[in-house]
Amino acid sequence: MTTSPGSATLLAEPALDLRGLRKSFGDLVAVDGLDLTVPAGICLGLLGPNGAGKSTTMRMLTGQAIPDSGSIRVLGHEVPRESKQARARMGVVPQRENLDEELTCRQNITVWATLLRVPRRDREAAVERALASAQLTDRADSKAGTLSGGMRRRLLIARALVHGPELVLLDEPTVGLDPQIRGEIWTLIDRLRSQGVTVLMSTHYIEEAERLCDDVAVVSHGQVIARGAPSVLVAEHAGVEALEVYGTPDRLAAVEADMAGLGFPTRRTGPSVSVLRAEALPQLVVDALPEALRRPANLEDVFVLLTGEKLEG
């Protein structure tokens, strides 16, 4: 980027600016007055339970769904009015795969490069670069229909990046993938961020959000109910430490009741109860829980506290 006098204003323009966004499907309110501003160059994670409105929001950013009300600016373009211009500058990895199964990897990406108007003289190089970035060069001539799940996801990402987008939307990019492939996709996303690309990704995986995202927006019932850096959200809502108590259902219920009496939040964590903000527990109470394990507070604690729901995965 140059440092011409105008660049300060350019830099100040957020990559995404959503105000009062609403979208209903019949009686069902999917997005309910959502506000979100994403500065250029960060990776923002949308964290929310099933049906919270994450995919609908992303679809409105691309012009695939039209909001009932509210305003959307994507890279300075007003959407849906200027969807085409916005779309040309962003890469989209949808939650539902939409590869052409009969085409090879190279052909799938080439079709996209053509649609996205990558100039003919640059096209071949751009396609090869995209294949390489997703480590698919040696599978370039395989049909998409014959790829493994992880390769398919990598192909989807490669395709979205072929025109060098400034903003990338990733809707649950690693769902259902094994840890190794997930790690590879994390590397890919991290590389994008280090290149200055703005990333908006939805995820159910707390670890993914904690590792990759500069900022997280917790989405519940079509609204952003909390926003901030993962560590800040944790400190703000869940404190420093949790005590994890294991035991019989009766024992867990008793711990929950005791802690509620003392004003400490708890949540079920599988076969245990986590007492949050445990750093502030009186020593006497801690001594009465000799079997408890101490662990750092995490983003999942925040999520469950704020939404009352569990994440999958």
Ligand X SMILES: Nc1ncnc2c1ncn2[C@@H]1O[C@H](COP(=O)(O)OP(=O)(O)OP(=O)(O)O)[C@@H](O)[C@H]1O
Residues that bind Mg ion (CB under 5 A): 54-55, 95
| Chain position carrying tokens 């569990």 | 310
Binding residue for ligand X (CB under 6 A) from 39, 51, 94, 150?
A: 51
Alpha helices in the chain (DSSP H): 7-12, 54-61, 83-88, 105-115, 120-133, 149-161, 179-194, 206-212, 230-237, 249-262, 283-287, 299-307
* Amino acid in the structure at residue 107: Q
Candidate list 34, 56, 234, 292; residue touching ligand X; CB under 6 A: 56
The reply on whether position 24 binds ligand X by CB under 6 A is no
Quick check: 307 binds ligand X (CB under 6 A)? no
116 φ, ψ to 5°? -90, 10
Question: From ligand X, Mg ion, none, which one binds at residue 169 (CB under 5 to 8 Å depending on kind)?
Answer: none
* Among positions 16, 21, 30, 278, the unique one binding ligand X when judged by CB under 6 A: 30
The Cα angle at residue 215 between residues 209 and 217, in degrees rounded to 5: 80
d(Cα 209, Cα 123) in Å, to the nearest integer? 33
CB 202 to Mg ion: min, Å: 6
Pick the closer one to ligand X by CB: 28 or 284: 28
Q: How far is the CB of 70 from ligand X (least distance, A)?
A: 15
Q: Select 85 or 95, whichever has its Cβ closest to ligand X.
A: 95
Tokens 């949540």: give the residue.
Answer: 267
Q: How far is the CB of 118 from ligand X (least distance, A)?
A: 29
**Torsion angle of alpha carbons 108, 113, 159, 36, nearest 10°?**
-140
Separation of alpha carbons 210 and 153, rounded Å? 21
Stretch that binds ligand X, among 47-55, 99-107, 134-142, 297-305 (CB under 6 A): 47-55
174 belongs to the binding site for ligand X (CB under 6 A): no
According to CB under 6 A, which residues from 70 to 129 bind ligand X? 95
Judged by the rule CB under 6 A, the positions of this chain that interact with ligand X are: 25, 28, 30, 48, 50-56, 95
